[in-house]
Structure formats: C-alpha cells, structure tokens
Structure 1
Amino acid sequence: MNFGRSIRVNRGAVLVVVVCGFTLLYFYHLFSDRSGSAYGQARNANEVNLRKLLIGAIQAAQKGGVEIVEVSKSMLLNKKSKGKTKEGADDPVTDADARSHCVMKNGLHRIFPRLEIISEEDKGTGCGDTAHFNLDPTVLHENAVIPDEVVETSDVTVWIDPLDATQEYTEKLYQYVTTMVCVAIRGKPVIGVVHNPFTMKTTWAWHGKALSEDLSKVKKEETLTKNPIIIVSRSHSGLVQNISKQVFGDNAQVIKAAGAGYKVLQVVFNNATAYLHTTRIKKWDLCAGNAILNAVGGKMTNLMNEEIDYSSNEAVVNDKGLLSTLSHHEDFISKIMSHKVLQA
C-alpha cells in the first residue's frame, strides 16, 4: 500500500457539488424569506406572512377544486340537505363540499396553525387523514411581484367557501361553481381568491399589492349607463327582478345566475352593471369577491351602504342585502335606499 501517493481532485466533481449547493440555497430562500421559515409562520409565532398566505390561499382553492372535480367524475355525490333557508329553498350539501372543505381548511391550518379559519362546512364534517400541500410560489404568474408583509395573527380571519353553488353543481351547471378563500385583516377583506375547478381559472387579488393577470385589463365605466344589467340569484329572482325594475327603471335588464363568487366576477369583468341581493347571505359567500372588487376599485356594501365586517367575532350572516358594483356605487345605492328595498 503506497501511502505516499498523491490524491487527485476531480475538478468537475467539485464544480457539480458547488453548483448543487448554490441551487439548494436558492430554493431554500425561494420557499423561505427574510421574515420567516419555509412554512407559513413568520419568525414570531404570533405573526403571519401575507405573501405566503396569498400563495396558500390560491393553492387551497385549487386543491379543493380537484376534490370537487373528482367527485363529479365518480357521480357519487351523496347529496343531502342541511335544511331550508329562511326563504324556503333547499340548502344542499354533497361529498364534494366535505372533501373540498377538508383539503382547504386542514391544508391551510397545517401551514398556518394559529390562524382563525372559518369554513361553510365546519359543522358536521369529519375530515380524518386529509392530503396536505406545501407552499408552491409557482401558482403566482411570472410577472407577479409580491412583497413580504407581516401582520399580527390575531388580526387575521380566513373565510373559506369549499363549494359555492352546490345546487348548480348537482345539476351539472359547472360554470357557476367556485371555491373561494378570503383573508380579512381587522374585518377588512384584503386577499381574495375565486377558482372555478372546471375551467381551471383562478382570479385573485391582494388589495394594493398584486392582481391575477386577468384583472389587469379591468376598466371602470366612466359614464352612468341608462341600460343597467342587474345580476341576481336564480333561487329568488322574481322578487329581485321586480325590485330592479322599480329602482333602475324599465330599461334595466335582469339576468339570473348562481354562486355569489360567479356573480361578483361578472360585475368585475363588466358583464353586469351590478349584483343585487335582497335577502340573507353568508359571509363566506361574499368575502373573496369583496376583496377582489375592492382591489380593482369597485365596491360592495349592504343595502344600507355599510361595508361588511368580516371579523371572526361578528355574525356569519349578512341580513341587510347586498349591492356590488365596479363603478357608480353611490348613484345606485341612493336609488335603492330611496325605494326602501329592505322593506319591500
């Protein structure tokens, strides 16, 4: 054995090791950041990074959508009724609602364990072992420049609608179906995500910070239209149709649709002038659309022109009606209030 033999260093191998090392560091910092770990919490356990929460919200909506599509393919919806709404309509729930809820809420809670998360299907849904997900920044479009911003966890409430338009889902009217996630800070809707699992389109916004690519082309109407298009719920359109004619005039066109998320996006993309709702509606139906509408300069209020409070200690039901507009909100709300719509 020749212990005196010199050891040759393979320079190519060394170069590979160095490159791999820098690559690992790059991906560590990509999934981490200056203010937090590779997961959702900031270094201070009582704070949360909103950039990461935006990414997690988008992923949660998309992962929930996967469950919805899978159940639709199986045709085993297992439709049940949660009871009747105040207006007498059936309030259905399916296995798709439950599976989407479990993936969305449990997935977010694993990454952000201290967050207050409210889901439509919190009651009576046992999740057991649920597939989780890790944060994946590639869900953001390549032109998105997302800042790091840390807020107190106690100021944040996350609202989840695992399947908006369940009745239409059972009827295979998939264009109305969405999953939604909203991040409210001190009761104000700040981040909103609306995802259609059948078209695979995801619209999202972080108010004042960033928008999904489809929102970059949104334009507000400068002139008050003489022929407004009012979008209303399919389930009680007759009442709202009569009110719309009274308030907006005979030239008003009323169109029926399902899903609050769908209807708000019709307003955002100028396919409807206003979304009018005159009865009770849950806040998980509204919050995501409210955040998106605010981010593009629109407005959502109840019919008393009051902004909706999404704090976790507030009631989950908005019982003062709803008006959503991209422009001329005050003009429309004044007409509604003068006609005393809530007493109609």
Structure 2
Amino acid sequence: MNFETLVSVMRRLALEAGDKIMEIYEADDFEVKTKSDASPVTEADEAADALISAGLREAFPDVDLVTEEQAESHAGAGRTFLIVDPLDGTKEFIKRRGDFTVNIAYVENGVPLRGVVYAPAKGRMFYTTPTGTSVEETGPFSPDTPGETTPISVRSSDNSALLVVASKSHRDEATDEYIAKYKVEDMKSAGSSLKFCLVAAGEADLYPRLGRTMEWDTAAGHAVLLGAGGRVVRFDDLTPLVYGKDGHANPFFIAYAPDVELHDPD
C-alpha cells in the first residue's frame, strides 16, 4: 500500500463526505429510517457512504472494502481491508448534538495502521500521516490542500488524577462501576469515535467501552490513537484489540494512554 496516496485519498473523501453530511444536517428536516438491527439510518449516512465507497473503490480497486451501510461487504474480507463508518454517531446527528464523525481506516493483518476521523459539526479532524504518526488539522479545510497540522500524542498520565471519557449515548452502570476503580479528576462525555481522539490528543487518559461496538465504529479512532502512542486492549484479557473478526463485532475494550495503570476488570 502506498501510504502517501492512501492518506491523501482518505482525508479528501472524509472532507467531501463531511460537506454532504452538513448539507443535510443543516436542512429543516431529513429522513430517518430504521435498519434491520433496529438502529437508525439517515439520508446523510447513505449519501456519505455512496461518496466514500465510490472514491475508495476507484483509488484502491484491489483492496477489500467493508462499510457499515453495505451488508454485502461484511462477509469475506480478510485481515487486510479498508473499513468505513460514513456517519458514526447517527443518534447524535439526529438529535443535532454535533458529536458525529466520518471514519475511514486501513487495516493490515488485523491492525488499523492508518485512519481519519472528521467531526464536521465541530470542525475537528484527526488522522495518521503516511509515516504513521497522528496529527490534528485545523480548518478551514480544503479537500485538495491540507491545512496546518499539529502533531498529537497521549499525555503523561497522573494515576491519582485521571481524565476519563465515556460514551454520551451508551454509558451504563457497568461502565460506571469500572471507572470507579480509578482515581478520577474529571469525567467528560463524548459521542462517536471522538473519544479515541481525545485520548490521542492528550485531552483524556482513559476510555473504557463496556458495550456493543463494531469494527467500523472503532478502526479509524484506534489508528489515530496508536499513531499518538496510545493503546487499545480487550476488556476481558487486556490483549490488543484486532480486526477482521467474524461479523466485525468488537468485544468490550479499553483505550488508554500507556502511563495509566489498568485495573483488573473483574
């Protein structure tokens, strides 16, 4: 894989999809449907998916593509593939809360090596560079001309005063019980894959997820966190979270800065 080309294409498609999403987000009304798994999908999900999928298939015709909105793409991918969530945080989008993202990632041998997370309503974009480090680009954004970027990295964590980020729409009692094992200075809530990016940018130390996620929800943010020096492990045995699993469902996991002293989940 040519990572220079890959990063350029992923960045451009994320921005173009973000523009399409914001057109619909800012309209007076938009259509919301229910998928077979009872989760919501909007015309913004579908429009962004069509744009990103077409762009990736044109640029990388020989690489498998997995995307949330195309069920036929969920079977048959190996451990190396492109994976897309065209609108992560659909519930946040519907409620017009802004915490939604465009997620595009490249997974090689089960590891998300490159990714872009774009939050168009918040004007924040994080991605891995061709060399594998992570940056935040500041707007105004141009699809064809990258703007100013700032390298990001996880912070040196103080285990007596941790900053924890948790899901805005999916936080539950089990999550709160696990967080209670730590000495927490501050808690914040965020939607979608932004939680990975907050840890990557040094704005949080720990993001535990004790709830259902799919690989397209997490791969791009996971890549950004890895490029910033962070880690993502399974909740049950603290081994690295890998991709290309049957059905693309994730186990519970913990995303964190390496200085955090993880507690036993039991």
- For normalisation by structure 2, the TM-score amounts to 0.84
Corresponding residue for residue 28 of structure 2:
75
Corresponding residue for residue 135 of structure 1:
none
1:92 maps to a residue whose letter is P
Is 2:178 aligned against 1:243?
A: yes
Is 2:37 aligned against 1:95?
A: no
1:275–1:323 contact (8 Å) kept in structure 2: yes
Which one has more relative contact order, counting CA pairs under 8 Å at least 6 apart? 2
Corresponding residue for residue 143 of structure 2:
none
Is 2:250 aligned against 1:327?
A: no
Corresponding residue for residue 113 of structure 2:
190
SS of 1:195 mapped into structure 2 = strand
State the alpha-carbon separation in 1 of the partners of residues 27 and 52 from structure 2: 20
SS of 1:68 mapped into structure 2 = helix
Unaligned runs of 5+ residues in structure 1 are 1-47, 85-89, 126-153
Distance 1:211 1:267, change over 3 A: closer
Corresponding residue for residue 142 of structure 2:
none
State the alpha-carbon separation in 2 of the partners of residues 59 and 107 from structure 1: 9
**TM-aligned CA deviation for residue 219 of structure 1:** 4.6
Of 58, 69, 78, 1:121 maps to: 69
**TM-aligned CA deviation for residue 296 of structure 1:** 1.4
SS of 2:26 mapped into structure 1 = helix
Richer in helix (by share)? 1
Corresponding residue for residue 14 of structure 2:
61
**TM-aligned CA deviation for residue 225 of structure 1:** 2.8
Corresponding residue for residue 258 of structure 1:
191
Corresponding residue for residue 49 of structure 1:
2
**How many pairs are equivalent?**
250
1:323 maps to a residue whose letter is I
SS of 1:280 mapped into structure 2 = coil
**TM-aligned CA deviation for residue 270 of structure 1:** 2.1
**TM-aligned CA deviation for residue 248 of structure 1:** 1.0
Is 2:75 aligned against 1:156?
A: no
Richer in strand (by share)? 2
1:207–1:291 contact (8 Å) kept in structure 2: no
Corresponding residue for residue 309 of structure 1:
242
Is 2:225 aligned against 1:293?
A: yes
Distance 1:211 1:277, change over 3 A: closer
Distance 1:81 1:297, change over 3 A: same
State the alpha-carbon separation in 1 of the partners of residues 72 and 154 from structure 2: 42
For the pair shown, which has the larger CA radius of gyration, 1 or 2?
A: 1
Unaligned runs of 5+ residues in structure 2 are 138-148
1:63 maps to a residue whose letter is E
Between the aligned residues of both structures, percent identity stands at 21
**TM-aligned CA deviation for residue 74 of structure 1:** 2.7
State the alpha-carbon separation in 2 of the partners of residues 285 and 322 from structure 1: 13
Corresponding residue for residue 138 of structure 1:
none
**TM-aligned CA deviation for residue 210 of structure 1:** 4.8
**TM-aligned CA deviation for residue 155 of structure 1:** 6.7
CA-based RMSD:
2.5
